[in-house]
Amino acid sequence: MLQLSPDKSFDFELLRALGQARYSGSDIAEILEAASKIEPGNFESWYQVFYNLAELVRLSVNPEESTHYPISVRDGMFRASTYYRLADFFLHGQKADSRITTLWASQTECFDLAISLLPIPGERIIVQANGFEIPTIFYRATASASSRPTILMGNGYDGSQEELLHMSGLAALERNFHVITYEGPGHPTVLRTQGLGFITEWEKVVSPVLDHYIQLPEIDATKIGLIGYSFGGFLAPRAAAFEPRLAAVMCVDGLFDVYESFAKMLPKPAKDLIDAHQKSEFDANIFKYLPPGGTKMRWGLEQGLWSFQVASGYDLFDRTRSMTMEGVAGQIACPVLVCEAEEDHFFGGEGLSQPRRLANAIGPRATYVKFTAKEAASAHCHVGASVRLNQVVMNWFQDVVDGVK
């Protein structure tokens, strides 16, 4: 496949952004032009290029013209929002960086204007949980009050609920499924506004969302699916193990054991230290063990310290030890779609893959699907192949709610 950057992590994130073009999240030439300007491995270069692009696109549309040109304003604001999120992506190694706040305010402002211009405007709704708030967005597929199947969508280690609209949200709406996106502890908005990092007990997030939304007449409470992307491929099945009201779960991609998935990416000296519970030595040396040009490991550690709200690399890995489907996967009562990417650089590797382990643990209720390089869908979460991914995921969910599966 054509490389967008010689830096593998930048290449992946650029493909991720490019793949959102089909569903109004980006434009192809804009991403390709940005890719040509970014210095590989340089986080500041990444920020500057996408910030400039976001500002350019935002200034190309006039919000005051939204009555006369609603589609043009909507599409421009969706793209600007995406580019502000991209500008923020590699900044989290410095928690005090004010751009983390200002960029998010800009992306939110643009996105909110865009969803107000959808045929049926998206609605932000705050759901109360035990000790925290869950920001959600409700997208109605139709204006009818009659109940319909609904898909609840949650992102992963680094993604926002806004991004989900361009990944699978619009694809679901096209198929007349209502869509609810949400963020829990560890996700971007909850981090910024409530200072909360990821938790293992994800049912504490999903169950309150269901409590709220099943009361709405337009939602068929017997036909609610839950999608989890990337790290959400653990969060979603974990919630389902303790939440019997879900009709289906879709893991894009499946994640059985978070600690194992994270730890296998460490250089051996660092892995030996953490396995031996040598906290002080691990924390003192972790960044020294990073290979030259090791963007993936550097970003992974910085993002983890931020999204788990911990100050220590050892504490980050230690926090993930409880994040396993061992002993709980068998409690899931509904059908589960477990996706795998043939060339996944996070969940793959030697031995039995994370998605395969999850599917095996769930047993006969699991449907396992591997996406391949032949169909250009082999990257983590099948970025760049969203049409193919949504074909499989949405068809499978349709069969479940129709009683075919």
Domains of the chain in start order, with CATH, are: 1-117 (1.20.1440), 120-257+323-405 (3.40.50.1820), 259-322 (no CATH)
- 44: number of Cβ within 10 Å: 10
Q: Tell me the two tokens of residue 37.
A: 């300007």
Helices (H), 70-121: 70-88, 99-116
Helices (H), 242-385: 258-263, 268-275, 279-285, 295-307, 313-319, 354-362
For residue 253, say if its preceding peptide bond is cis, omega within 30 degrees of 0: yes
Per-residue pLDDT for 342 more than 70?
yes
Backbone angles phi, psi at 45, to 5 degrees: -60, -45
**Coil, strand or helix at 227:** strand
Task: Share the mean pLDDT of the chain.
Answer: 95
Categorize the per-residue pLDDT at 378 as very low, low, confident or very high, splitting at 50, 70 and 90: very high
Q: Which of 267-276, 319-328, 371-380 has the lowest mean pLDDT?
A: 267-276
**Coil, strand or helix at 212:** helix
Interior CA angle at 354 toward 209 and 247, to 5°? Answer: 35
Categorize the per-residue pLDDT at 379 as very low, low, confident or very high, splitting at 50, 70 and 90: very high
Q: Measured in whole angstroms, how far is the alpha carbon of residue 282 from the centre of its chain?
A: 29
The DSSP bridge pattern shows strands 133-139 and 178-182 to be antiparallel
Per-residue pLDDT for 405 more than 70?
no
Helices (H), 312-385: 313-319, 354-362
The one-character DSSP state at 291 is P
User: How far apart, in whole angstroms, are the C-alpha atoms of residue 165 and residue 386?
Assistant: 12
Categorize the per-residue pLDDT at 391 as very low, low, confident or very high, splitting at 50, 70 and 90: very high
Residue environment code for 353-378, b if the CB has 16+ CB neighbours within 10 A, otherwise e: bbbbbbbebbeebbbbbbbeeeeebb
Could you give the percent of the chain with pLDDT greater than 70? Answer: 99
- Amino acid identity for residue 141 in this structure: A
Q: What is the pLDDT of residue 251?
A: 98
Calculate the alpha carbon distances from 294 to 10, 42, 132, 230, 289 in Å: 11, 11, 36, 21, 10
Q: What is the pLDDT of residue 182?
A: 98
pTM for the predicted model, two decimal places: 0.96
Per-residue pLDDT for 51 more than 70?
yes
Q: End-to-end distance of the chain based on CA atoms, in angstroms?
A: 35
Q: What is the mean pLDDT of residues 319-323?
A: 96
Q: Which residues pair with 340 in a beta bridge?
A: 370
Q: What is the pLDDT of residue 349?
A: 66
User: Nearest Cα to 160, choosing from 128, 186, 126?
Assistant: 186
Any idea which residue has 């200034």 for tokens? 59
Q: What is the mean pLDDT of residues 239-265?
A: 95
Backbone angles phi, psi at 134, to 5 degrees: -115, 110
- 162: number of Cβ within 10 Å: 29
User: How far apart, in whole angstroms, are the C-alpha atoms of residue 73 and residue 113?
Assistant: 8
Q: What is the mean pLDDT of residues 240-255?
A: 98
Q: If 0-12 CB within 10 Å is exposed, 13-18 middle and 19+ buried, where does residue 175 land?
A: middle
What tens digit of pLDDT does each residue of 133-165 get?
999 999 999 999 899 999 999 999 999 999 999
- 328: number of Cβ within 10 Å: 14
Categorize the per-residue pLDDT at 330 as very low, low, confident or very high, splitting at 50, 70 and 90: very high
Q: Tell me the two tokens of residue 266.
A: 């460490």
